[in-house]
Structure formats: structure tokens, C-alpha cells
Amino acid sequence: MPKTDDDGVEWLSEEELAQAKSCADEKTFDTFVESVGGHRIDGLHPNPGVLNADYVFPADKVIIELKTLETEIQNTHQFQAKMQVVHRQAILHLRAGACDIALAVGTEKMFFTDRPEKIAAAFLGGTDIHDLETTRAFVRELGGDIDDGTNGTRSVFMDLYAALAHHHMRSFGTTQEDLAKIASKNHAISVFNDKAQYRTAVSVAEVMADRLIAYPITRSMCAPVSDGAAAAVICTRRGLEKLAGLHSRAVRIRACALRSGSQHAASDHARRIGHLTALEAYSAASVSPEDIDVAEVHDASALGELLQIENLGLAPFGEVPAKLAQGYFAVGGPIPVNPSGGLICKGHPIGATGIAQMYELCLHLRNEARERQVTGARLGITENGGGWLRGEEASCVVSILEAPSR
């Protein structure tokens, strides 16, 4: 995506996050939409020119709940990456001059107490359901195991993460303890996030001793099934003028890059979709990894965070464990990653995750993250991947945000 000039600059003016505090929370879709979108719509005059919503719940339902019956609305569905894709679609509308203010809304209702097997099965929709054997062959090729039910029904993505972990261990000497350190780091900071699903510190030893999901992945290294919602108002400079009193809070969107995956050898790290998407985002924003102050990445498992740190260039391939041992990616370190607690602790309501990541960055860029605050944060980066196809994510979005002028 080309660099944005000052006349077409996009801003995140306000955003909010509502999330279930436990998997047993039976909040409804209506409740989530009202909590994250309703009061934002009330403050916009005129109504936003385009409203993007996630596909899991029909667009017309969102329109009814938010009382925007005459507003253009679009749906999208790119599994875990869908809300970052929605965010990018809103940007494209703004750049095309179709509107000056857009509202992106993402919701997810995933947890049903009487249908646990359906929850796990739903994740198959993020893979090529017409060629599942190719996915299974990839897992076996890297040394992973296919879910046989012995460790409880699990998402196919945990099989994929475990297989990639085996490959990373062989390639770089990474250990299960390294993954446990990432999970423990995120659990420790989640104690201070009142929107996190899990808010309990867990030691490295406790992470390793937790129930095995698919070696080397244990339960404490995995994101939980979550219900939740998030929304963001995205606007041009002209649109910002219509939002009285928000200039001092407007976070600038420096870049938003989207790519699709490609087929390549697992050992060809430079061709990973996350790495290529990050390079595109850095180029569009005219910055480098060394300029980034804080990151929120897709850690559906601890291995996911390790891979995305590499992909974003925040550490060379294979060197994350050494920097992790030095506290490099913790709050207080040189480049904090997932100060929200990550998906592992904050939760992973798929339809809301992308905007929820941006919400966390905005807190830091506005100096409003309290105990989790990354001191002096000026530039933040998010990475969100969606689905799985031929050895890596089917799609990936990387966004770079800049703090309000102080």
C-alpha cells in the first residue's frame, strides 16, 4: 500500500473493547454490538459513510442494533485476520473519497457450554476443508501429530503450531521452556489488564507442567475460546474536524499492509507471509523495525508470538529465545510485545481480535495503559494472521500506528 500524504491521512479517533471475562459468560451478540458501537454511533454526525462488520453475524443485524439503517455496510470473512482486513477496507474507502468517517465493528460469539465439540470443529473452516489431507500431511512432515482425541478435542491450529514448533526446534535449538517463557511473560502482565479473560500470573514451571495439548504446546501456551467485540472509528483529516474534542486523541495510521500466503519451504523463513507483509508496512510508513516501541501480535499459541517477533524483524530468525531470557520483550524491556497479555490471556474473539489489538496499541500511544504502559511509546505495530493454506497463514495484515501529537 502506498504511503499516505497529509491530505489523505487516516486516523483512529476513538475505539472501545468489550470482552467476556470468562468462557462461561453468556453475553449475546446484541449486547456486544451495543457495548462497542452504539455510543460511538451516537457521537457521529452525520452517520459514518461506511460501516464494516465481521461476517459471522449478518450485516443487517449490525445495522439494526446500531440504528444506522441508511448507512452503507460491508461484511468480510478472513478468519482470524478479518478485523484487520475490515480496518484496511475502511482505509481504502477513505482514500477513495467515498466517505470521511468509517466505523469498523467486530464481534464474536464462540463459546456454547453444551457444544464444545462444535467449537473445535469450527476451526476447520480456517483451513482448506476440501483438501484436509494436505494439511495433515504438512503436520506429519514437520514432525507433528494429528488430533486423535487422547489429549481432548483441540483446534486443528494447535496441531499446526505444534508442527511448526518441532521445525523451529530442529532449525534453531528452540526449547519447550522458551515457549513457556513467552506464555509466562504474557500471563504476568495480564494481571493488570481489566479486559483480559485470564488475569492470573503463571510461572514458567507451571506453564510446562500444564496439560499437554500437542507437544510442545501446553494449555497455558494457548489462547482460549472467547466471546467479545471491538470497534474503531477511522477517519480522514476532514472527518476528524467533525469529531469535536478528539484531535488530541487521534492516533495516526502510518501503514496498513495486507498479503496472501504463498507456497514455499518451511525453511525459507524470508518468504514467510508475516515477514513480507511487515516489510511492505515498514516501507509504506518509511520506518524500520528499530523505530518500533510496542507490538501486539497474533499469539494463538506461544509459538505464534515467537514467529511473529521474527517476522516483524524485532529479532533475527532464531534469536528470540536469547533476547527473551534478557527480558527484551517484556514491559520495561527495549521492545515490549503483547503488553495486553496477548491472545493467550486477553482472549481471542476471532471477529474482534484485530481491532482489539489496535485498541491496546492506542492505549500505549495515548499514555493511558496505566500499569502496562510502555514508556514514551511513539510507534506501535500490530500483526494479525488469518486461516491456514499450504504451510502458512492464508492472509496477514500488519499495521503501524503513530502517537497523537504531544
Domain CATH code at residue 10: 3.40.47.10
**What's the pLDDT at 336?**
98
C-alpha separations of 322 from 42, 182, 267, 269 in Å? 49, 12, 20, 19
pLDDT mean over 297-309:
96
* pLDDT tens digit sequence for 247-298: 888 999 999 998 888 788 888 999 999 999 999 999 999 999 999 999 999 9
**What's the pLDDT at 122?**
66
| Residue that is written with C-alpha cell 510461572 in the block | 203
Task: Give the largest Cα separation in the chain, rounded.
Answer: 58
**What's the pLDDT at 67?**
47
**What's the pLDDT at 324?**
96
The verdict on residue 102 lying in a domain is: yes
* pLDDT tens digit sequence for 48-105: 444 444 433 444 444 445 444 444 555 555 444 455 667 778 888 888 888 888 888 7
State the average pLDDT for the chain: 79
The verdict on residue 103 lying in a domain is: yes
The verdict on residue 313 lying in a domain is: no
**What's the pLDDT at 330?**
98
| Total count of domains within the chain | 1
- Gyration radius (Cα) of the chain, Å: 20
The verdict on residue 305 lying in a domain is: no
The verdict on residue 169 lying in a domain is: no
Instruction: Look at 380 and 248; give whichever has higher pLDDT.
Output: 380
The verdict on residue 381 lying in a domain is: no
Residue 352 has pLDDT above 90, yes or no: no
Q: How many residues does the chain have?
A: 406
CA geometry: angle at 174 spanning 170 and 180, to 5°?
140
**What's the pLDDT at 135?**
72
**What's the pLDDT at 278?**
97
The verdict on residue 189 lying in a domain is: no
pLDDT band for position 212 (50/70/90)? very high
Look up the domain containing 28 and give its range.
6-111+226-247
Out of 112-121, 274-283, 301-310, which region has the weakest mean confidence (pLDDT)?
112-121
Instruction: Look at 259 and 138; give whichever has higher pLDDT.
Output: 259
The verdict on residue 203 lying in a domain is: no
The DSSP 8-state label assigned to residue 324 in this structure reads H
C-alpha separations of 227 from 109, 262, 314, 388 in Å? 5, 31, 30, 22
* pLDDT tens digit sequence for 166-195: 999 999 999 999 999 999 999 999 999 999
Residue 314 has pLDDT above 90, yes or no: yes
CB 284 within 8 A of CB 2: yes
Percent of the chain with pLDDT over 90: 44
